[in-house]
Amino acid sequence: MRFGRKQSPDGRLKALARKIEAAAQKDQERARKAREASRLRAVAAAELHTLCRTLAEALNGLLASPLVELSPAEYSAAAFREDAPGVFQINVSGRIVHLEFHATEGPSSTEKLATPYILEGAVRAFNQELLELSVIPEQHLFCCPQGGKLNWVWFDVRSQRTAPLDRERLLSLLERLM
């Protein structure tokens, strides 16, 4: 009803049809964004595993016998599950870098980091000495899609520092454990 005039039944019907079409388009767009986020998450998880695998292979290539183990040894985007956490571990004789991640509730989030992210988790590095002290250093882990790239970053709550999770960061975590 506008300005005291009644809308004709056909006018109401047409208005409702337009609203239904608009809602259907919104639903389709929401579903498309969810599918795209799921695809990006799977690719990001596979990229993180590749980063870990190439580091483990490079280190083992320099050792007399392979001592660096990556678990799981193989991983692909098809192995990613939206409803379950992903875990990768680099193990060097009980010295462990543990990477854990899971999907955000929506297609992306900014709840814990100002930059939008699609995966969140933690990176921990520990050895027997740290376990005995009940000290397991942990940084938050995020995958942030930016400019067509999937960027893994870590965030230290204590220092409020954010930096890329790359080969150099993994090397420095392993060096601290030796």
pLDDT digits (tens, 9 = 90+) for 107-149: 899 999 999 999 999 999 998 888 788 878 899 999 999 988 9
Q: Which whole number is the average pLDDT over 69-83? A: 95
CA gyration radius for the chain? 23
Nearest to 158 by CA among 134, 130, 135, 128: 135
Is residue 1 predicted with pLDDT exceeding 50?
Answer: no
For residue 131, CA distances in Å to 61, 92, 98, 124, 134 come to 29, 15, 13, 12, 5
pLDDT digits (tens, 9 = 90+) for 81-103: 999 999 999 999 999 999 999 99
Using DSSP, state whether 152 is helix, strand or coil: strand
Q: In the structure encoding, which two tokens stand for residue 127, read together?
A: 């050895």
Residue with tokens 């709550």: 157
pLDDT digits (tens, 9 = 90+) for 149-176: 999 999 998 888 999 999 999 999 999 9
